[in-house]
Structure 1
Amino acid sequence: MRKLAFAFFSSQLAGVPWDQLAVPDIGTNDIIQEHQDCVLEEERRHWNQLRNLDDL
């Protein structure tokens, strides 16, 4: 699972579309989607923290 998440993250850095990593295996697609959701949540948390700093 870590290797798949790392491959996904690395592909984003390399500019490879994430859907090229998706294979017909539903489990793999779920792992990719879970990782993407996690990254989006981290970004959301980061921006909320920055917004809170601006309010001070």
Structure 2
Amino acid sequence: MVRTSSFCSEGSCVGVALEPDGVRVVDTKLGDSSGLRFTPAEWAAFVAGVKAGEFDLP
């Protein structure tokens, strides 16, 4: 199941699907079968970076 933000409009969104072998990030315009796959360790590192502000704009 792909989850999208409640702020998503007109299907132009990024979705996240939790899968047994990791996480898949998809462009909802392209459908559920598309996307980038990340291992649990890669996803955890990304989430930690977001929480630490590594991707904040100046």
TM-score (norm 1): 0.34
- Structure 1 or 2, whichever has the larger Rg, is 1
Structure number with the higher helix fraction is: 1
TM-score (norm 2): 0.33
